[in-house]
Amino acid sequence: EAGVTQFPSHSVIEKGQTVTLRCDPISGHDNLYWYRRVMGKEIKFLLHFVKESKQDESGMPNNRFLAERTGGTYSTLKVQPAELEDSGVYFCASSLAGTRNYEQYFGPGTRLTVT
Amino acid sequence: ILNVEQSPQSLHVQEGDSTNFTCSFPSSNFYALHWYRWETAKSPEALFVMTLNGDEKKKGRISATLNTKEGYSYLYIKGSQPEDSATYLCSHGSNYKLTFGKGTLLTVNP
């Protein structure tokens, strides 16, 4: 069974540019999450989808970040325009429906560098 | 405690040593405690999900305990090997959202 995949693995962009990150969850996982780790800090929650619906987007830093999950399969996270402080590793995770206490399976992350 | 705190931040041990780390978390509104093992550029790998006070779980040479009343969990590694070198992340799960500590970076020297 394929795990959570993320694309690209690395992205280097200039301040002011736009970047779109993609996440493909494990097939059949209704729950999809985005997290971010800024260097030296802890991994922080950004938002949670159940199928195509946003359940909790309380961790989204500001309106420069837009997450979508059309059709309830893969998800994209767009940063527009990117700022220096957006640099970090963006993780995607997925879990089965109705499994609040169960494992979240993580992808390898996208390392974003804004220069 | 409002956040998840892990100690130590980093640890160097010799191959064959046994070691342990601590995770402290808010004891109120507890749902689950997760331990992950993470090597840079790879996916964080789930080690344990623990939900009950007094839980003890084991996977090979790695084990973990949970005390939900006082809000802490210990992760133990017996007979550390160089391949155990990684960052060990603890997270407190509450209504799907995971709150992570900064992790403990373990380096096992051959």
Per-residue pLDDT of chain B in tens (110 residues, 90 and over written 9): 568 999 999 999 999 999 999 999 988 878 889 999 999 889 999 999 998 999 999 999 999 999 999 999 999 999 999 999 999 999 988 668 899 999 999 999 99
Structure tokens at B22: 């601590």
- Closest Cα to residue A21, out of A105, A106, A109? A109
Name the residue among A4, A33, A59 with its Cβ closest to that of B43: A4
A34 in Cβ contact with A77 (< 8 Å): yes
**CA–CA distance, A25 with A31 (Å, rounded to integer):** 9
**CA–CA distance, A103 with A106 (Å, rounded to integer):** 9
- CB contact under 8 Å between A100 and B103, yes or no, is no
One pLDDT digit (tens) per residue for chain A, 115 residues: 689 999 999 999 999 999 999 999 999 999 999 999 998 899 999 999 999 999 999 999 999 999 999 888 999 999 999 999 999 999 999 998 765 557 899 999 999 999 9
**CA–CA distance, A90 with A6 (Å, rounded to integer):** 9
A90 in Cβ contact with A110 (< 8 Å): yes
Name the residue among A41, A103, A107 with its Cβ closest to that of B46: A103
Position B30 scores a pLDDT of: 81
Return residues 21-50 of A near B (CB < 8 Å): 31, 33, 35, 40-45, 48
Position A77 scores a pLDDT of: 98
Longest dimension (CA), chain B: 42
Position A103 scores a pLDDT of: 82
DSSP 3-state of A71? helix
Position B95 scores a pLDDT of: 63
Output b/e per residue, B42-77; b: 16+ Cβ within 10 A.
ebbbbbbbbeeeebeeeeeebbbbbebeebbbebeb
Name the residue among B51, B97, B101 with its Cβ closest to that of A42: B101
A6 in Cβ contact with A110 (< 8 Å): yes
Strand A53-56 to A43-50 pairing: antiparallel
Structure tokens at B67: 């005390």
**CA–CA distance, B46 with A107 (Å, rounded to integer):** 11
- Closest Cα to residue A114, out of A64, A42, A66, A43? A64
- CB contact under 8 Å between A42 and B100, yes or no, is yes
